[in-house]
Amino acid sequence: MQLNRSKMVSVLSRAFLGCSLVFLGSSFTLTTSTTAIASVTGISDSRLEDINVTPNIGRGYSPSTNTFQSLCMDEIVTTKPSANLEYTFEEVTEESLRSSSSRTTVDGNFRYAFLRGSIRAESNTSGTETKKSLRILATIKLKKYYAAMDESKSTLAPMAAELLTGNEKDMVSFFNACGPYYVKSLTRVSTLYALLTFNSTDTTSDSSFAMQLQASLRTFGGGGSISVGHSSTFRSQASSRNLKIYISGMGLDPEHLQGLLATDIPTFRAAIQNSLEALKGYDVGRVVGMEIAPWSEHLGFQKAVALPPAGVNPPWLSKVIEELNGDFVAQVARVRKFTLANYYTAKTCLQQLVEGNWSNDGKWEDLAFINLTTGVAGATGKAIKEKLDKLVENPPIATPAPNPNPVDGTGGTTKENEEPVAVPLLVKHQLIVDSAKKCFAKLASEGGYLGKTAFYEFTECNVMVKDLYLQPDKTLTDYCMPIR
The bridge status of strand 155-156 relative to strand 73-74 is antiparallel
Residues 65, 148 within the same domain = yes
Residue 6 domain flag: no
Residue 13 domain flag: no
Instruction: In whole angstroms, give the CA distance from residue 188 to residue 146.
Output: 10
Average of per-residue pLDDT values in the chain: 76
Specify the length of the chain in residues.
Answer: 484
Give the pLDDT confidence score for residue 245 in this predicted structure: 83
Q: CB–CB of 446/453 below 8 Å?
A: yes
3-state secondary structure of 161: helix
Residues 292, 344 within the same domain = no
CA torsion, points 408, 28, 157, 80, in degrees to nearest 10?
-140
Residue 25 domain flag: no
Q: What is the mean pLDDT of residues 54-64?
A: 89
Domain range for 246 is: 31-306
How is residue 395 annotated by DSSP?
P
Residues 344, 296 within the same domain = no
Considering the entire predicted model, what is its pTM?
0.65
In angstroms, the Cα distances linking 424 to 367, 405, 434, 447 are: 25, 11, 16, 35
Residues 35, 102 within the same domain = yes
Residue 79 gets the label, from left (phi > 0), alpha (psi -120 to 50) or beta, of beta
| 156 phi, psi to nearest 5 deg | -65, 145
Residue 224 gets the label, from left (phi > 0), alpha (psi -120 to 50) or beta, of left
Amino acid sitting at position 224? G
In angstroms, the Cα distances linking 104 to 45, 69, 112 are: 10, 28, 10
Residues 422, 374 within the same domain = yes
Q: How confident is the model at residue 217 (pLDDT cuts 50, 70, 90)?
A: low
Residues 138, 218 within the same domain = yes
Structural domain tally of the chain? 2
Give the pLDDT confidence score for residue 308 in this predicted structure: 58
Task: Return the number of other C-beta atoms located less than 10 Å from residue 134's C-beta.
Answer: 19
Compute the radius of gyration of the chain from its Cα atoms.
29
3-state secondary structure of 41: strand
Residues 353, 232 within the same domain = no
Residues 155, 255 within the same domain = yes
How is residue 456 annotated by DSSP?
G
Instruction: In whole angstroms, give the CA distance from residue 431 to residue 335.
Output: 12
Residues 70, 130 within the same domain = yes
Q: CB–CB of 369/388 below 8 Å?
A: no
pLDDT one-digit tens code per residue, 162-212? 888 866 678 888 888 898 899 999 999 999 988 888 777 666 666 777 777
Residue 314 domain flag: no
pLDDT one-digit tens code per residue, 98-145? 666 555 677 778 887 888 777 777 666 655 444 467 788 888 999 999
Residue 374 domain flag: yes
Residues 274, 379 within the same domain = no
Instruction: In whole angstroms, give the CA distance from residue 375 to residue 352.
Output: 19
Residues 366, 427 within the same domain = yes
How is residue 291 annotated by DSSP?
E
3-state secondary structure of 60: strand
| Count of CA atoms in the C-beta half-sphere (13 A) of 51 | 8
Residue 258 domain flag: yes
The bridge status of strand 377-380 relative to strand 82-91 is unpaired
Residues 262, 362 within the same domain = no
